[in-house]
Structure 1
């Protein structure tokens, strides 16, 4: 009978994710992961198959969390679909401008992705498409409300907002401040006519 594991996989993945976010996949060593997780090298191999496999597990967790967060931000409520998108984009701009803000693991993976047909690129692309799908649903609600023209290219608009969010995340990481990121967010919303000149939301 196999011995029961003496660790919680979710905790190990969370600890490893913190290392990967800071260092990226390429620069993270097994010794880094050993220090962060408290597991020995052999235990890491036995449980996850190696550094890359552990990164992919952490990336999958990050992807699921990102999808839940965007879905909750854009879910039905008293605000109109365009108002929900507007509030979401502005809140993200403010979050990314904070001094303690760090890029997500999904954005780290996007930066490190080679575009080749490997598992990392496949998972990264799937995560982007999942987020775009959530934006598309909200934009479909806006079109049904008459807030967008019937011929609006919703998949393109959805991917546009994924790109805006990811871009603001990287700009914030580079030290771009709140005023500049808020301006980027407001300008991005002009494509929807979503009251882009209104006062930005507060954190």
Structure 2
């Protein structure tokens, strides 16, 4: 019988996630992972297999949390349109508060590994598909409630919204100032096709 683990797995994964987020997959060395997690190489590999498996686990956890945060913003009681508008504004404010300009780990992982790593590709596709679905559902609800133009395709508008929010994050990472990011959010809100 093996020895029981003497560490908290979610804490270790979260620490590894921070290292990968800061340095990227290729840029994160084994020594940085052992330093970040407090585990030796043998314990790290014994628990997670290898660097790639640990990255996939950390990336998957991030995607799950990111999608859950959007779901919390876009679903709930009350009218859908105000939830949609609040989410757009919150995305800009969150980007502004990112003083280290780390951006989104989902976007960073996509930029580095999309098209090269099937395990990461699957998680990227699943996350973006679910985000598109959440926006589509919220937009459809706002259309049913009479707040958005019912003639428009909610899925196309959802994809446009998602692209705009990804753009806000990218511009924030590149150093765009708060006034610019807020202006993009407000212009996006103003361009929503009202009923």
Normalising by structure 1, report the TM-score.
Answer: 0.88
**Separation in 1 of the partners of 2:150 and 2:161?**
19
Measure the CA separation in 2 of the matches of 1:54 and 1:62: 12
Aligned to 1:198: none
Aligned to 2:90: 91
1:76 aligns with 2:67: no
Distance 1:26 1:125 in 2: 21
Residue aligning to 2:43: 43
Q: Matched residue of 1:97: which SS? A: helix
Corresponding residue number in structure 2 for 1:107: 107
Give the Å deviation of 1:158.
Answer: 1.4
RMSD: 1.7
CA contact under 8 A between 2:80 and 2:139: conserved in structure 1?
Answer: yes
Normalising by structure 2, report the TM-score: 0.91
1:111-122 alignment runs, 5 A limit: 111-116=111-116, 118-122=118-122
Match of 2:192 in 1: 192
Mapped to 1, the partners of 2:40 and 2:110 lie a distance apart of 29
Number of residues of Structure 1 aligned to a counterpart in Structure 2: 193
CA distance in 2, matches of 1:159, 1:88: 15
Contact 1:82 1:192 in 2 (8 A): no
Give 1:52-67 correspondences, 5 Å limit.
Answer: 52-67=52-67
Which 4+ residue blocks in structure 1 deviate beyond 4 angstroms?
none
Q: Which runs of 5+ in 2 are unaligned?
A: none
In structure 1, the gaps of 5 or more residues are: 195-203
Deviation at 1:149, TM superposition (A): 3.2
